[in-house]
Copies of this chain bind each other. A is one copy, B any other.
Amino acid sequence: MAQKTKYNMVKEKITDWITSGKVKPGEKIHSENELVKMFGVSRHTVRQAVGDLVHEGWLYREQGAGTFCSFRQEENEQTVLPAQTNGKNIGVITTYISDYIFPSIIRGIESYLTAQGYSLTFACTDNDIEKEKQCLQTMLSRNIDGLIVEPTKSSIYNPNIHYYLELEQHNIPYLMINQFYPQLAPPHIVVNDEHGGYIATEHLIKLGHRKIIGLFKTDDLQGVNRMQGFIRAFREHGITFFPDMVISYSTEDMNEKVNDRLNKFYSSDDRPTAIVCYNDQLALMVLDVLRNHQISVPEDVSVVGYDDSFLAETFEVKLTSVAHPKMEMGIEAAKRIVSAVEGKDNNPQSIIYEPELVVRNSTAPIKSKDIVISQE
């Protein structure tokens, strides 16, 4: 993960010496000038590398004598924060708690943390940047040892970046779930939403549908990615894509916008034969609108949801939906933050889950009368 700057490469080499046992605690490492010659970099660069390692506790310097390997690398992380004897505290910040999908993630996190004797401090932002700021401040002023965040409005610029930088300064590990801010490039656990949008759309294309519309929430990256997968499916299958086939909305204008556009579509003759939805909850809304127009699913129109929530199973039409491991993601997030907090894994790796399509009754092959002459 560390960028491949020269000083980072020097740092890596030196830490390698230590971890491999080539240099033992208390032993002198090569002098700055020697390192300059060895790595072919300037003394400034060597000093930056060594200086960093001194701060991180790997080495210590003695003027006039040399630079030496530290005796206690174990205590690297413990130098800043005082030891909290019994069980640590992990912060969790999410956007919505009422959304039917988050409870399973939070439940995953909670179950693992409690089992480990950790406690969980919780806050949610309602997808409001001002509230996110407040939550981060509260978390920082508490003695949290790690943080799991679902970023707020991740598709637009986020002004709260410096709070995350400060977490790094204090050596408090954090990871992002569901989405992440590209500017920070933190460890993250996400679903490959682009692929999810793609397979949902591809499924419909393979059933013969051409007039497919997509409904996506675009104030978070999840929605934007699903939309991109939607569009890619058109391109890769050589199907003409018209911009008005995508309806994007934000949390605030969801109700009006989706209703309006959908009603417009189904009042005209240019009716789509399939609809890809941002999530299952939206799919329910769509089904409700369709019912009001006396349009039956899947006979007249196919509908695909996303999340494979319990809603997909309990509805009158069982929803075809894109599935991803919700609870596992929570557990995995908890596991990684715990091992990061315990210093077992200073640079947790990211995971990208590949979603899968669960086909149910809401999608069907296109009816012969609806087939349009291919325009390619």
Residues of A within 8 A of B (CB): 26, 54-55, 57, 60-62, 65, 68, 70-72, 75, 78, 80-82, 84, 86-87, 89, 92, 97-98, 100, 102-104, 106-107, 110-111, 114, 117, 119-124, 126, 131, 134-135, 137-143, 161-163, 165-166, 169-170, 284-285, 288, 291, 314-316
Give complex CA distance A75, B142 in Å: 12
Residues of B within 8 A of A97 (CB): 103, 106-107, 110
CB distance from A16 to the nearest CB of B (A): 21
Instruction: Indicate if the CB atoms of A60 and B169 lie closer than 8 Å.
Output: yes
Instruction: Indicate if the CB atoms of B166 and A71 lie closer than 8 Å.
Output: yes
CB distance from A114 to the nearest CB of B (A): 6
| Other-chain residue from B103, B139, B169, B288 in contact with A103 (beta carbon distance below 8 A) | B103
Instruction: Indicate if the CB atoms of B80 and A57 lie closer than 8 Å.
Output: yes
Instruction: Indicate if the CB atoms of B57 and A55 lie closer than 8 Å.
Output: no
The chain B residue with its CB closest to the CB of A26 is B162
| Other-chain residue from B124, B141, B163 in contact with A107 (beta carbon distance below 8 A) | B124
Residues of B within 8 A of A54 (CB): 169
Please give me the 4 A-B residue pairs with the lowest Cβ-Cβ distance, nearest first: A122-B122, A316-B316, A284-B314, A98-B103
CB distance from A77 to the nearest CB of B (A): 13
